[in-house]
Amino acid sequence: MSSPMLTVQNLEVYYGAIHALKGVSFEVKTGEVVSLIGANGAGKTTTLRALSGLVGTKGQISFKGQDLSQVPTHKRVGLGIAQSPEGRGVFPQMTVRENLEMGAYSRKDKAGILKDFDMCLELFPRLKERLWQMAGTLSGGEQQMLAISRALMCKPELLLLDEPSLGLAPIIVSQIFEIVKKLNHEGMTILLVEQNARMALKISHRAYVLETGRIVMQDSAQNLLNNDEVRKSYLGV
Ligand code: ATP
């Protein structure tokens, strides 16, 4: 866990007149789980969208030493960055199986695709029982499982997870975080965006706190869990 897989420097994003990211810098090292925590509207989703190439940016994004500024979204997926979007974003009119196949659309390694397909169903046995069900009819938790699995079907080296706990019952949230932890133990590098700061910090190595488009704090997850300011503002204690 040493070399930076992702280095972000002075990232800026505007939506028209709204300056959503005001010079955000952070890094994610190979093998880490890093969280971005912060209130509604702090710029967490925007940061992930910038990394995936879904919004125009200023600043530098370097992935495995390669500058991504001119690299379009689909090529970033090919390089090893996959995002599980906020609000799940599964294709509702497609079956679970088709959604998973869509995740692998740019891959040619048939044997590898089959292996990852089986791996996803092993991670999320609920999806196995629902392979032929329309994704739009899944429960919120199941849709979240599918969104993560679809991202895994891209065979990412860096998995971007946007609010995996959003709107889910606590027991499902725990299950999903257990799986995120397991994925990391098996070698996946993860950048996690969460409003549920406590859950996020519990499974992270390090974290950054975003406030209105700026990083205002960074530390080990353990230190942040014990930090008075973080406890008051984000952990409700
Ligand atoms: P949330 O948890 O509510 O999604 P967030 O930290 O992910 O919050 P962002 O969604 O990144 O925050 O939003 C950052 C800022 O950019 C907010 O002020 C938001 O209103 C604004 N914003 C986000 N998307 C757009 C858009 N498409 N057009 C205009 N402004 C936007």
Task: Output the domain CATH number for residue 73.
Answer: 3.40.50.300
CA-CA distances (angstroms) from residue 135 to 47, 93, 139, 187? 27, 6, 9, 28
Q: Which pLDDT value is given to residue 2?
A: 64
What average pLDDT does the chain have? 93
Mean pLDDT of 32-57: 93
Q: Is the CB of 85 under 6 A from ligand 1?
A: no
Percent of the chain topping pLDDT 70: 98
Same domain, residue pair 169 and 212 = yes
pLDDT at 47 > cutoff 70: yes
Could you tell me if the CB of 165 is within 6 A of ligand 1? no
Residue nearest to atom 20 of ligand 1 (CA): 41
The predicted-structure confidence for 216-229, as pLDDT tens digits, reads as follows: 999 999 999 999 99
Whole-number Å distance between alpha carbons of 195 and 45 = 11
Looking at the predicted structure, is the pLDDT value of residue 85 above 90? no
> Does residue 1 register a pLDDT over 60?
no
* 37 shares its domain with 67: yes
**Is residue 169's pLDDT more than 80?**
yes
| pLDDT score recorded for residue 42 | 93
Q: Are residues 182 and 76 in the same domain?
A: yes
In a domain, 150, yes or no: no
For the full predicted model, state whether its pTM sits above 0.85. yes
54/114 same-domain check: no
Q: Which two tokens stand for residue 65?
A: 């030493």
Q: What's the pLDDT band for 235 if we cut at 50, 70, 90?
A: confident
Per-residue pLDDT, 167: 82
Give the chain's domain count: 2
How far apart are alpha carbons 10 and 17 in whole angstroms?
Answer: 18
**Whether 193 and 217 share a structural domain:** yes
Residue-number span of the structural domain to which 166 is assigned = 4-80+156-234
Residues 163, 125 within the same domain? no
**18: Cβ below 6 Å to ligand 1?**
yes
With tokens 């008075």, the residue in question is: 228
pLDDT tens for 59-77 read 999 999 999 988 998 899 9
Q: What percent of the chain shows pLDDT beyond 90? A: 80
d(CA 5, CA 74): 19
Give the per-residue pLDDT at 234: 87
CA distances from 209 to 31, 83, 106, 180, 194 (A): 20, 20, 34, 20, 10
**Pocket probe mutation, ligand 1, options 46, 52, 55, max atoms within 8 Å of Cβ:** 46
Confidence at residue 93, expressed as pLDDT on a 0 to 100 scale: 94
